[in-house]
Amino acid sequence: MKVRSVGLALIAGVVLLEGTDAGAQAPAAGQRIGYIDLSRVLARSAAGVAAREQLEREKAGMQKEMDAKRVELDKLREELEKKGPLMTADARRDKEEMMERKRRDATRLADDFQRELGRKEQVLAQKVMQDISGVIEKVGKQKGYYLVLERGRAGVLYSAPEADLTDDIIKAYDQESANKGKK
């Protein structure tokens, strides 16, 4: 998680430096530095909202499957509680082993679902980040910024509210996404 966070900060901070001279001077007094809040962009942009909704739909499907497994295990447990004393020792042991196997399978499935959701979330976030890096560069250049940082992950301790480009980025990103959808 830390590596991805640093990577996002680097994308945001370095994106405006691409194409500049390697020997460029430090920012002069008139050059501006801005920041964006990437978590807010992901939460409020149309593409970020769509990605989150897609993940929620997939999560709901996985939850439905897990609920079915839990109901199945509950039925087995109830059957063992009610009929267990009447069963032969071998039959009870077989039922207990089957229930334990199904419990382990359900646990493994839950772990698999968790990993899959994490992977899908990472893939969707990376796609949004790839799309947005161009938008950050474009808005930064249009507004005359020398450098744009990601506020949360870049260690920014103070920043003036007027240096916040987040809403501009969201607006430009949504507009660019809408234009791509029309083509």
Give the DSSP per-residue string, 54-67: HHHHHHHHHHHHHH
For 148-171, letters b (16+ CB in 10 Å) and e give bbbbbbbeeeeeeeebbbbebbbe
Q: What is the pLDDT of residues 53-101, one digit of tens each?
A: 989 999 999 999 999 999 999 998 998 889 888 889 899 899 899 999 9
* Backbone CA torsion sign across 1, 166, 152, 35: positive
Q: What angle do CA 90, 93, 96 make, to 5 degrees?
A: 150
CA atoms within 13 A on the CB side of 17: 15
Show Cβ contacts of residue 41 under 8 Å, excluding neighbours closer than 6 positions.
Answer: 48, 128, 132, 166, 169, 170, 173
pTM: 0.63
Class of residue 18 by CB neighbours under 10 A (exposed 0-12, middle 13-18, buried 19+): exposed
Q: Are the CB atoms for 140 and 15 separated by under 8 Å? A: yes
Domain annotation for the chain: domains and CATH numbers: 2-21+30-182 (3.30.910.20)
In the predicted model, residues of the chain with pLDDT beneath 70 are 1-30, 183
